[in-house]
């Protein structure tokens, strides 16, 4: 039995009940974390409990909300030893349903939406979160309303339409999409499933942390290299490590957490370099990695805190480095990564050049999505001048 006892604000510590839909802390807008009765769970829940359970993220059901899962088989993706670098592993999230790690968060969020009896969900997305919402909402019989920048990768738009979601393309960035959701949700009766403003997407993503530990035989790697837009995967994995320690599964050791961003949108990297504890929005974000085009991540302070406590780093890589890494990974490892995921390899190489890692250190590089979803992006890269990033909403295509 799972034991979500309440949701707790990461900023002020206020608690709110989990028996009805919640968004952010009602006092200060802080991110809410689901809290479990880990002390009780510790008596009966241990790594042995997982033996013979299906290879999907719901194998960690005791530390997930207690509801009938809306599942498409997400999670338990391969942790592949690198063929190029000793001690390095590639966690291939591109093999999830809808081709990205976003499936994890949306499986758990839609599970809870269904349990709460919600009928209409909406979210702003760089693309893959929209695809995942569209798929899980279809499986749950819930309406999905997705808002994406007009230049979203083709696969995301076609997927969303095929799953029957209501698609709105916006002349603008993800922040503009978020504002539209926020302005319309009350009138339309939508529940806003924006990342970190809905507490259970994080719970789904944290399972990446449980999995890495389980796949390494309940040891943690020395470092995790992870591409960050909003950075919820990083925040979620850190939460998972704390939970595993409270359960007695691991000790106080932690991997060094490396946040990777695109040079053309690097608010976390700049804040990290300047030693700040908060993010300043990045002006005119532009990168081939659509999912990394997040100029003002809501959980920015949480991310910076994790980087500090893990003795990690924030690294920016250029689009050329990303595309070169994407091709290299495909040819050397046989993994066709999303540009966002390939950014992990580019960052790893940069850090090796700076002697950040010791020889043979266990390092997990996350590929967060499948390259197959970016065919036209990859095919056209470098072939035509990039369009300037649009700042303002000019017009809207779609049913609204």
Give the residues lining the site for ligand PLP (CB under 6 A).
100, 102, 126-129, 195, 227-233, 291-292, 294, 338, 340, 368-369
Q: How far is the CB of 297 from Zn ion (least distance, A)?
A: 18
Q: Which does 223 bind (CB under 5 to 8 A by kind): Zn ion, ligand PLP, none?
A: none
Question: Based on CB atoms, which residue is closest to Zn ion, 28 or 280?
Answer: 28
Tell me if 368 sits within 8 A of 100, measured CB to CB. Answer: yes
Question: Based on CB atoms, which residue is closest to Zn ion, 25 or 237?
Answer: 25
Q: Which does 338 bind (CB under 5 to 8 A by kind): Zn ion, ligand PLP, none?
A: ligand PLP
Binding site for Zn ion (CB under 5 A): 9, 11-12, 14, 25, 27-28, 30
Q: Which does 180 bind (CB under 5 to 8 A by kind): Zn ion, ligand PLP, none?
A: none
Tell me if 79 sits within 8 A of 211, measured CB to CB. Answer: yes
Q: How far is the CB of 22 from Zn ion (least distance, A)?
A: 12
Q: Which does 28 bind (CB under 5 to 8 A by kind): ligand PLP, Zn ion, none?
A: Zn ion
Q: How far is the CB of 303 from Zn ion (least distance, A)?
A: 18
Beta partners for residue 330, in sequence order: none
Q: Which does 30 bind (CB under 5 to 8 A by kind): ligand PLP, Zn ion, none?
A: Zn ion
Question: Based on CB atoms, which residue is closest to ligand PLP, 62 or 333?
Answer: 333
C-beta nearest to ligand PLP: residue? 291
Question: Based on CB atoms, which residue is closest to ligand PLP, 244 or 338?
Answer: 338
Question: Based on CB atoms, which residue is closest to Zn ion, 30 or 231?
Answer: 30
Residues 6+ positions from 320 with CB-CB distance below 8 Å: none
| Chain centroid offset of residue 390 CA | 24
Q: How far is the CB of 221 from Zn ion (least distance, A)?
A: 32
Hey, CA dihedral for 174, 176, 178, 184, is it positive or negative?
Answer: negative
- Which of left, alpha, beta for 284 (phi over 0: left; psi -120 to 50: alpha)? left
Tell me if 147 sits within 8 A of 172, measured CB to CB. Answer: no
Question: Based on CB atoms, which residue is closest to ligand PLP, 45 or 272?
Answer: 272
Q: How far is the CB of 100 from ligand PLP (least distance, A)?
A: 5
Tell me the C-alpha distance between 315 and 295, whole Å.
15
Tell me if 363 sits within 8 A of 222, measured CB to CB. Answer: yes
Q: Which does 346 bind (CB under 5 to 8 A by kind): Zn ion, ligand PLP, none?
A: none
CB-based contacts of 72-78 (< 8 A; 24+ apart in sequence): 72/97, 72/98, 72/103, 72/107, 72/135, 72/136, 72/139, 73/97, 74/103, 74/104, 74/107, 74/204, 75/103, 75/104, 75/107, 75/207, 75/211, 76/211, 77/211
Q: How far is the CB of 125 from ligand PLP (least distance, A)?
A: 7
Beta partners for residue 191, in sequence order: 121
Q: How far is the CB of 131 from ligand PLP (least distance, A)?
A: 9
- Helix or strand run (H / E) with residue 315: strand 313-317
CA angle 355, 86, 207 (to 5 degrees): 95
- Helix or strand run (H / E) with residue 34: strand 32-36
Q: Which does 9 bind (CB under 5 to 8 A by kind): ligand PLP, Zn ion, none?
A: Zn ion
Q: Which does 227 bind (CB under 5 to 8 A by kind): Zn ion, ligand PLP, none?
A: ligand PLP
Q: How far is the CB of 257 from ligand PLP (least distance, A)?
A: 13
């Amino acid at each position: 039995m799972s034991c979500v006892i309440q949701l707790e604000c990461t900023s002020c510590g206020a608690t709110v009940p989990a028996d009805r839909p919640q968004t952010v802390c009602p006092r200060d807008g802080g991110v809410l974390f689901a809290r479990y009765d880990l002390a009780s769970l510790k008596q009966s829940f241990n790594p042995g409990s997982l033996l013979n359970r299906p290879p999907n993220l719901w194998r960690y059901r005791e530390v997930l909300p207690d509801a009938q899962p809306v599942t498409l088989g997400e999670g338990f993706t391969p942790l592949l030893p690198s063929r190029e670098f000793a001690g390095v592993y590639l966690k291939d999230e591109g093999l999830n349903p809808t081709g990205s790690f976003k499936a994890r968060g949306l499986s758990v969020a839609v599970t809870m939406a269904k349990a709460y009896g919600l009928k209409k969900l909406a979210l702003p997305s760089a693309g893959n979160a929209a695809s995942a919402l569209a798929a899980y909402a279809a499986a749950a019989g819930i309406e999905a309303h997705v808002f994406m920048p007009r230049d979203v990768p083709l696969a995301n738009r076609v997927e969303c339409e095929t799953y029957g979601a209501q698609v709105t393309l916006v002349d603008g960035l993800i922040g503009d999409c978020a504002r539209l959701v926020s302005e319309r949700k009350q009138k339309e009766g939508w529940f806003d499933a924006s990342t970190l403003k809905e507490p259970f997407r994080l719970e789904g993503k944290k399972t990446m942390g449980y999995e890495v530990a389980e796949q390494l035989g309940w040891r943690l790697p020395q470092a995790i290299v992870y591409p960050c837009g909003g950075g919820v995967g990083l925040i979620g994995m850190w939460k998972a490590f704390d939970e595993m320690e409270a359960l007695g599964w691991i000790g106080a050791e932690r991997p060094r957490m490396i946040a990777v961003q695109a040079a053309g949108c690097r608010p976390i990297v700049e804040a990290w370099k300047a030693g700040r504890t908060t993010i300043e929005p990045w002006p005119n974000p532009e990168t081939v990695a659509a999912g990394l085009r997040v100029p003002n991540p809501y959980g920015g302070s949480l991310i910076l805190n994790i980087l500090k406590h893990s003795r990690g780093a924030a690294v920016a890589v250029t689009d050329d480095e990303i595309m070169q890494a994407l091709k290299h990974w495909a040819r050397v490892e046989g993994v066709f990564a999303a540009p966002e995921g390939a950014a992990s390899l580019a960052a790893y190489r940069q850090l090796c050049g700076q002697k950040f890692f010791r020889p043979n250190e266990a390092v997990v590089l996350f590929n967060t999505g499948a390259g197959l979803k970016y065919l036209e992006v990859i095919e056209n890269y470098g072939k035509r001048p990039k369009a300037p990033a649009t700042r303002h909403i000019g017009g809207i295509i779609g049913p609204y």
